[in-house]
Protein backbone atom coordinates (compact mmCIF):
# COMPACT_ATOMS: atom_id res chain seq x y z
CA UNK A 1 0.00 0.00 0.00
CA UNK A 2 1.27 3.43 -0.88
CA UNK A 3 1.34 6.10 1.79
CA UNK A 4 -0.37 9.42 1.13
CA UNK A 5 2.27 11.81 -0.19
CA UNK A 6 2.23 15.48 0.66
CA UNK A 7 1.91 17.84 -2.27
CA UNK A 8 3.91 20.62 -0.68
CA UNK A 9 7.24 19.42 -1.98
CA UNK A 10 9.93 22.03 -1.95
CA UNK A 11 11.22 23.54 -5.09
CA UNK A 12 14.73 22.36 -5.86
CA UNK A 13 17.30 24.81 -7.19
CA UNK A 14 18.83 23.65 -10.45
CA UNK A 15 22.10 24.53 -12.14
CA UNK A 16 22.04 26.13 -15.58
CA UNK A 17 23.20 22.85 -17.12
CA UNK A 18 20.49 20.83 -15.36
CA UNK A 19 17.83 23.23 -16.64
CA UNK A 20 19.24 23.06 -20.15
CA UNK A 21 19.17 19.26 -20.09
CA UNK A 22 15.58 19.08 -18.80
CA UNK A 23 14.24 21.72 -21.18
CA UNK A 24 15.96 20.24 -24.22
CA UNK A 25 15.08 16.57 -23.68
CA UNK A 26 11.75 16.31 -21.83
CA UNK A 27 9.96 16.20 -25.16
CA UNK A 28 12.16 13.62 -26.81
CA UNK A 29 15.36 11.70 -26.17
CA UNK A 30 17.34 10.27 -29.11
CA UNK A 31 16.59 6.71 -30.17
CA UNK A 32 20.11 5.92 -31.37
CA UNK A 33 22.70 3.38 -30.14
CA UNK A 34 24.69 5.97 -28.13
CA UNK A 35 22.12 8.57 -27.10
CA UNK A 36 24.19 10.14 -24.32
CA UNK A 37 27.07 10.83 -26.68
CA UNK A 38 24.70 12.54 -29.09
CA UNK A 39 23.18 14.65 -26.29
CA UNK A 40 26.69 15.45 -25.04
CA UNK A 41 27.71 16.61 -28.50
CA UNK A 42 24.62 18.80 -28.80
CA UNK A 43 25.24 20.39 -25.40
CA UNK A 44 29.02 20.59 -25.71
CA UNK A 45 29.88 18.41 -22.70
CA UNK A 46 31.05 14.83 -22.16
CA UNK A 47 28.74 11.82 -22.22
CA UNK A 48 29.80 11.04 -18.61
CA UNK A 49 28.64 14.49 -17.50
CA UNK A 50 25.22 13.94 -19.10
CA UNK A 51 24.87 10.51 -17.48
CA UNK A 52 25.99 11.75 -14.05
CA UNK A 53 23.66 14.75 -14.16
CA UNK A 54 20.71 12.60 -15.22
CA UNK A 55 21.41 10.08 -12.45
CA UNK A 56 21.57 12.89 -9.88
CA UNK A 57 18.32 14.48 -11.13
CA UNK A 58 16.54 11.15 -10.76
CA UNK A 59 18.00 10.64 -7.27
CA UNK A 60 16.94 14.12 -6.16
CA UNK A 61 13.43 13.50 -7.44
CA UNK A 62 13.57 16.37 -9.95
CA UNK A 63 12.86 13.78 -12.63
CA UNK A 64 10.38 11.00 -11.93
CA UNK A 65 11.46 8.90 -14.88
CA UNK A 66 13.81 8.61 -17.80
CA UNK A 67 12.75 6.51 -20.76
CA UNK A 68 9.78 5.74 -22.97
CA UNK A 69 6.38 6.98 -21.84
CA UNK A 70 3.77 4.51 -22.95
CA UNK A 71 0.21 5.05 -23.95
CA UNK A 72 -0.61 1.85 -22.05
CA UNK A 73 -4.23 2.08 -23.18
CA UNK A 74 -3.13 1.24 -26.71
CA UNK A 75 -1.39 -1.91 -25.53
CA UNK A 76 -3.60 -3.39 -22.91
CA UNK A 77 -6.85 -3.12 -21.01
CA UNK A 78 -9.54 -0.67 -20.07
CA UNK A 79 -9.16 2.62 -18.19
CA UNK A 80 -11.38 5.24 -16.65
CA UNK A 81 -11.30 8.32 -14.45
CA UNK A 82 -13.74 7.83 -11.57
CA UNK A 83 -14.87 10.03 -8.71
CA UNK A 84 -16.63 9.51 -5.40
CA UNK A 85 -18.56 11.90 -3.19
CA UNK A 86 -17.21 10.98 0.23
CA UNK A 87 -18.51 12.34 3.56
CA UNK A 88 -15.66 14.19 5.33
CA UNK A 89 -16.04 12.11 8.48
CA UNK A 90 -15.38 8.88 6.55
CA UNK A 91 -12.75 10.21 4.20
CA UNK A 92 -9.68 8.33 5.49
CA UNK A 93 -11.58 5.08 5.85
CA UNK A 94 -12.94 5.31 2.28
CA UNK A 95 -9.49 6.27 0.92
CA UNK A 96 -8.12 3.07 2.40
CA UNK A 97 -10.96 0.98 0.98
CA UNK A 98 -10.41 2.46 -2.49
CA UNK A 99 -6.60 2.26 -2.39
CA UNK A 100 -6.82 -1.42 -1.45
CA UNK A 101 -8.01 -2.20 -4.96
CA UNK A 102 -5.01 -3.06 -7.12
CA UNK A 103 -7.05 -1.75 -10.07
CA UNK A 104 -6.79 1.78 -8.62
CA UNK A 105 -3.69 3.39 -10.13
CA UNK A 106 -3.82 7.03 -9.01
CA UNK A 107 -6.01 8.52 -6.34
CA UNK A 108 -6.25 12.23 -5.49
CA UNK A 109 -8.13 14.18 -2.88
CA UNK A 110 -9.67 17.27 -4.49
CA UNK A 111 -11.44 20.33 -3.07
CA UNK A 112 -14.89 19.71 -4.52
CA UNK A 113 -18.10 17.92 -3.51
CA UNK A 114 -16.76 15.08 -5.71
CA UNK A 115 -13.73 14.89 -3.46
CA UNK A 116 -11.99 11.63 -4.41
CA UNK A 117 -10.67 11.10 -7.96
CA UNK A 118 -8.98 7.93 -9.11
CA UNK A 119 -7.98 6.08 -12.26
CA UNK A 120 -9.20 2.50 -12.67
CA UNK A 121 -7.16 0.15 -14.85
CA UNK A 122 -8.49 -3.32 -15.63
CA UNK A 123 -8.13 -6.03 -18.29
CA UNK A 124 -11.39 -5.19 -20.01
CA UNK A 125 -14.46 -2.96 -19.98
CA UNK A 126 -16.65 -5.50 -18.20
CA UNK A 127 -14.21 -5.88 -15.33
CA UNK A 128 -13.90 -2.11 -15.09
CA UNK A 129 -17.64 -1.65 -14.63
CA UNK A 130 -17.71 -4.47 -12.09
CA UNK A 131 -14.91 -2.93 -10.00
CA UNK A 132 -16.46 0.55 -10.23
CA UNK A 133 -19.82 -0.73 -9.02
CA UNK A 134 -18.21 -2.77 -6.27
CA UNK A 135 -16.32 0.31 -5.03
CA UNK A 136 -19.55 2.31 -4.86
CA UNK A 137 -21.20 -0.52 -2.96
CA UNK A 138 -18.34 -1.17 -0.53
CA UNK A 139 -17.81 2.53 0.24
CA UNK A 140 -21.53 3.38 0.12
CA UNK A 141 -20.68 6.58 -1.78
CA UNK A 142 -22.15 7.94 -5.02
CA UNK A 143 -19.73 7.63 -7.94
CA UNK A 144 -18.95 8.98 -11.39
CA UNK A 145 -17.44 6.83 -14.13
CA UNK A 146 -15.90 9.10 -16.78
CA UNK A 147 -13.93 7.13 -19.39
CA UNK A 148 -12.27 9.32 -21.97
CA UNK A 149 -14.09 9.78 -25.26
CA UNK A 150 -11.49 11.87 -27.07
CA UNK A 151 -7.86 12.51 -26.20
CA UNK A 152 -6.88 15.98 -27.40
CA UNK A 153 -3.45 16.16 -25.80
CA UNK A 154 -1.25 14.36 -23.28
CA UNK A 155 2.21 15.60 -22.45
CA UNK A 156 4.13 17.92 -20.23
CA UNK A 157 5.96 20.96 -21.44
CA UNK A 158 7.20 22.64 -18.31
CA UNK A 159 10.13 24.98 -18.37
CA UNK A 160 12.70 24.20 -15.68
Partner 1 sequence: MTELKLDQALIKKVISATQNGLPICERPYQRIAEQLGIGEDELIELMQKMLSAGLIRRVGLVPNHYALGYRFNLMTVWDVADQSILALGEKVGQLDFVSHCYQRPRQEPDWHYNLFAMVHGRDEQEVEQQVAQIKQLLGDACRAMTQLNSLKILKKTGLRIRS
Cβ neighbors of 29 (< 8 A, separation 6 or more) are: 35, 39, 66
Closer CB to partner 1, 8 or 16, in the complex? 8
Cα distance between residue 108 and residue 136, in whole Å = 17
Rounded to a whole number of angstroms, the minimum distance from the CB of residue 38 to partner 1 is 11
Shortest distance in whole angstroms from residue 134 CB to partner 1: 17
- Residue 88 is given by DSSP the state G
User: Which CB, 44 or 153, lies closer to partner 1?
Assistant: 153
Minimum separation from the CB atom of position 155 to partner 1 (A): 6
Of 109 and 126, the one with the shorter C-beta distance to partner 1 is: 109
Contacts of 91 (CB under 8 A, 6+ apart): 109, 115, 116
CB of 50 to partner 1, least distance (A): 9
Residues 6+ apart with CB under 8 A from 26: 156, 157, 158
| Distance (Å, whole) CA 116 – CA 83 | 5
In the complex with partner 1, which residue's Cβ is closer, 9 or 44? 9
Amino acid sequence: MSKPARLQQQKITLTAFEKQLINAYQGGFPLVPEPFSLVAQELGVTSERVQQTLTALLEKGVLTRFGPLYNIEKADGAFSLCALKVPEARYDEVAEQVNNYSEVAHNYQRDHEWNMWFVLATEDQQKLLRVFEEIMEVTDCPGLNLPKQTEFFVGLRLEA
